[in-house]
Amino acid sequence: MNDWENLFMNTDQHTIEDIAENFPVLSDEEKERIFAMSERKYNNTNNDQLHEQVSGVEVYRRPRWYKTAAIAAAAVLAVTGIGGSFYFISRNGSPNNKSANDVVETVTETSTDAEEVTTVEEDTTEEATYSTDNTDPEVLLASAYELTAGYADVYRMLQWYGLNVDESQSITFNPHLSYSESFDEWEINETYYKVTDERFKSIEDIKNFARQYLTDSVLGLTESDESGFPRTGFGSSFTSYFDYGNYSLCPTGERFELDQITDPSGEPLSFGFSDYIEYNGELYSKIPHQQPDEKFFGSEAEIVDSGDGWFTVQRLVTEHYCTFPTSDTGAPVWFRIVDDGGTWKIDNVDVGSPVEYDAYVMMQCYYDFLRNFSSAENSDTSDMIEVNGVSYAKYASSYTLGDALSGYAMEGISDPLEGIKEYTKLYFTDEAIDQFMPDLIGGKFITQDGTLYIRQDEGDPIFVSGEKPVFKWDMADIQENTEILSVSDDEISVRTVYYYADGTPFHTVSATIERTENSYNLFTSFIIE
Amino acid sequence: MNDSQLISLMNRSPHEGRRAFFEEFVGYVYAVTANKLRALASREDIEECVSDIFAELYRCIDRGLSGGDSDLKALVTVVAKRKAIDYFRRLSSPSFQDTFSIDDDCYADYASRDNVQAQTENKERNSILYQRIKELGDPDSSIIIQQFFYGRTARQIAAALEMSEAAVQKRSSRARTKLKKLLIMSGIEEGSI
């Protein structure tokens, strides 16, 4: 078997149903999120008008994305307008790149009772910083600021917040569709609003904007890491924003079969419902515009690796990003920047988990190894021995969720005690094992004739009673009961109070977790208070 | 709750009915969607698609499903597959023309007679494969399915199964080794999947 990614290729319907029933994957949180999204879409569509409407003059202000590179010495540009003056921090706000790349923006804002118009004019006559001609580290860093800020703009524009639109100028397409003879027809209403951001007159303008910062590779591909787990990141979503589904080809209000609709090339027209369309030479979007948080990055850019024609920049992203909870510190994101025909561009985006989340995962692991070290959970009492007056039972894991210790102790390692040490290396540095493990597991295990035995300690806990957890061990509980004491590039210190399910405190643990490679994943200290 | 009861509830109390309908089918819809999109889509894309599917299903039910001729599971299947194909097209643009394999059911017309035997063999192989995965036992079977069917990351699986990420990675590696042996014992040649 050489391609695990294709393990489930061509899965039949029966198997899909069986997997759905026996291996459900959605958490309650995920279900709630999806349900809320479906409700919003359902309600939005039901409230839409059925046919094209073009009227009104209210124009929304552009979002203030340009504060994303919130660096102290950012260039401050004057913005003038009737009714007041505003100061914007340029998103090119690196302290190092000001002279090389000032993108001057002039925003003129006009307001009356009935009308508010925003226009944006960009003067991009000066050289971009991200030319690859100059590889001076400071210039590279300036390019990194420019490119990562551009990434933030593109990400927000396409992923969450949309462009400024005039909601009074909208088009609603309502093709009537029929998927099979078994069901009645139904109609789909999709409403698009006219984009008012002067930078973008067409889909091509959006693509070209993104291509200033990103290679086509990062715009269109999904990659996998070495273990075959898919990466999260900007990746594959990009093309979905406008490459399929052209409603302008669909007559409004008419009824037709889905498969009968074809585009000019004869291909069946997809109802992928692009987020952006062009209609009568104008750009429309259906992304509900939202005002983004002002801060996208939580750290300055740092070049962490480089080679011939490429370098990698790390920045912390504080915006709610990917699937992780919002983080005060941020999630590390690694931007691989390459020489793309004489211009630096971001070629890959690799997203780590927020620092706090790493800590929560590690503190949750406490239950993992504590459970594996519990004689109440892992004893085969039909095989007992007594050594120096102390009772031991054959180690037999009943921990069905993560009997890692059993695996390490019993498979492939001749000395089970060495297996235990290997297992603990999943969580602790070597130094920490030497320092702290004797307190946790010292004397707990012995071997006899190659068999592993565990000491029968009355105080060892069980973890599940009547299919109910004995402890509060969900991530949400761990998160709620963990205090982040300090965070640095190398380590994070935390204190967690562990509780029984009934709310009685069990242990309080202070720990320091070391960062190795890209995540904080090894305890350097672990003290039960 | 059967189909008639669900539809009745949706008519009587729309929000409560949609909630019940969602709870009834979300696992299945997610599986159908993940099966089609996992190679291309992020988890957010899949969730987006699933929410689109349900919004469309609600509208569809609003507009005409009633009485005894309704088969909600069939409707859900059709709408879910169609919408997932739409997303697949969007995500795989511009090479859609070469990607018929996304849904053998919907693209059955493209299957030539010569492919019938291969499809039958595929089905048998996949059946054996799934049985062997189940024989791995939990948590290994869950890890393999979450990883390769649902496209979840090690970190996501770890959180779901209340394990450490390292433990998930280790178990996945061991489970794959074990699965490979089971499949070879079952007559499935290495490299054939």
Contacts of A239 in chain B (CB under 8 A): 90-93
Contacts of A238 in chain B (CB under 8 A): none
pLDDT at residue A148, rounded to an integer: 92
CB proximity B181 to A under 8 Å? no
pLDDT at B103 over 50: no
Spatial separation of the C-alpha atoms in residues A58 and A233, rounded to whole Å = 35
Say yes or no for a CB contact (<8 Å) between B170 and A180: no
pLDDT at residue A364, rounded to an integer: 80
Residue among A21, A27, A232 whose CB faces B153 most closely: A232
Does domain B3-102 bear CATH number 2.60.120.10?
no
Say yes or no for a CB contact (<8 Å) between B172 and A188: no
Say yes or no for a CB contact (<8 Å) between B152 and A427: no
CB atoms within 10 A of CB A505: 10
By C-alpha distance, which of A492, A229, A224, A233 is closest to A358?
Answer: A492
CATH of A356-528, one of 3.10.450, 2.20.25, 3.30.450, 1.10.3470: 3.10.450
By C-alpha distance, which of B142, B148, B151, B183 is closest to A400?
Answer: B142
Residue among B59, B127, B138 whose CB faces A400 most closely: B138
Of residues B68 and A100, more confidence is placed in B68
Tell me the shortest Cα–Cα distance from A114 to chain B, in angstroms.
35
- Which residue intervals of chain A bear CATH 3.10.450? 356-528
- Of the listed ranges A18-32, A361-375, B57-71, B73-87, the least confidently predicted one is B57-71
By C-alpha distance, which of A307, A185, A172, A314 is closest to A250?
Answer: A172
Residue among A7, A45, A427 whose CB faces B193 most closely: A7
**Mean pLDDT on B96-116:** 35
Say yes or no for a CB contact (<8 Å) between B162 and A401: yes
pLDDT at residue A164, rounded to an integer: 86
pLDDT at residue B93, rounded to an integer: 54
Spatial separation of the C-alpha atoms in residues A187 and A250, rounded to whole Å = 12
Say yes or no for a CB contact (<8 Å) between A364 and B138: no
CB atoms within 10 A of CB A44: 15
Tell me if A355 sits within 8 A of A492, measured CB to CB: yes
Tell me the shortest Cα–Cα distance from A473 to chain B, in angstroms.
8
Extents of the domains making up chain B: 3-102, 114-185
Tell me if A299 sits within 8 A of A141, measured CB to CB: no
Tell me if A316 sits within 8 A of A329, measured CB to CB: yes
Tell me if A285 sits within 8 A of A316, measured CB to CB: no
Tell me the shortest Cα–Cα distance from B192 to chain A, in angstroms.
6
What are the tens digits of pLDDT across the range B113-154? Answer: 344 555 566 667 778 888 888 887 777 889 899 988 998 887
Q: Whole-number mean pLDDT of chain B?
A: 74
Per-residue pLDDT 10s for chain A (529 aa) are 446 666 777 777 888 889 999 999 998 888 988 988 888 878 765 543 222 222 222 222 222 221 222 222 222 222 222 222 221 222 222 223 322 222 222 222 323 333 332 333 333 334 444 667 777 888 889 999 999 998 888 877 766 667 888 888 887 765 554 444 444 444 556 677 888 989 888 877 887 888 889 887 766 533 333 322 223 233 333 333 444 344 444 444 444 444 444 444 554 444 444 567 777 778 888 766 666 666 788 888 999 889 889 999 998 887 655 434 556 777 788 899 999 888 999 988 776 667 787 788 788 878 877 877 888 888 889 999 999 999 999 887 644 333 444 444 444 455 667 777 777 777 788 888 877 666 656 678 888 887 788 899 888 888 878 767 788 877 778 888 999 999 887 899 999 999 999 999 998 999 999 987 666 778 898 888 8
| Residue showing tokens 């691989």 | A336
ipTM for the predicted complex: 0.84
Tell me the shortest Cα–Cα distance from A377 to chain B, in angstroms.
16
| Interface residue of B91, B115, B135, B188 to substitute, partner A, most A CBs within 10 Å | B91
H or E stretch including A282? strand A282-285
Tell me the shortest Cα–Cα distance from A151 to chain B, in angstroms.
18
Q: Could you tell me where the beta strands, DSSP code E, fall in A376-434?
A: 379-387, 390-395
| Interface residue of A2, A22, A42 to substitute, partner B, most B CBs within 10 Å | A42
Spatial separation of the C-alpha atoms in residues B65 and B62, rounded to whole Å = 7
Contacts of A327 in chain B (CB under 8 A): none
Give the phi and the psi of residue A498 in degrees, each rounded to 5.
-95, 140
Q: How far is CA A148 from CA A136, A209, A326, in A?
A: 18, 13, 20
Spatial separation of the C-alpha atoms in residues A161 and B130, rounded to whole Å = 41
Looking at domain B114-185, its CATH architecture is Orthogonal Bundle (1.10)
CB proximity B172 to A under 8 Å? yes
H or E stretch including A276? strand A276-279
Q: How far is CA A83 from CA A45, A58, A108, A113, in A?
A: 37, 17, 10, 12
Say yes or no for a CB contact (<8 Å) between A182 and B74: yes
By C-alpha distance, which of A31, A40, A20 is closest to B22?
Answer: A31
pLDDT at B30 over 90: yes
Contacts of B56 in chain A (CB under 8 A): 186, 188
Tell me if A315 sits within 8 A of A146, measured CB to CB: no
Tokens of A85: 């003056």
Residue among A27, A270, A521 whose CB faces B86 most closely: A270
Tell me if A397 sits within 8 A of A490, measured CB to CB: no
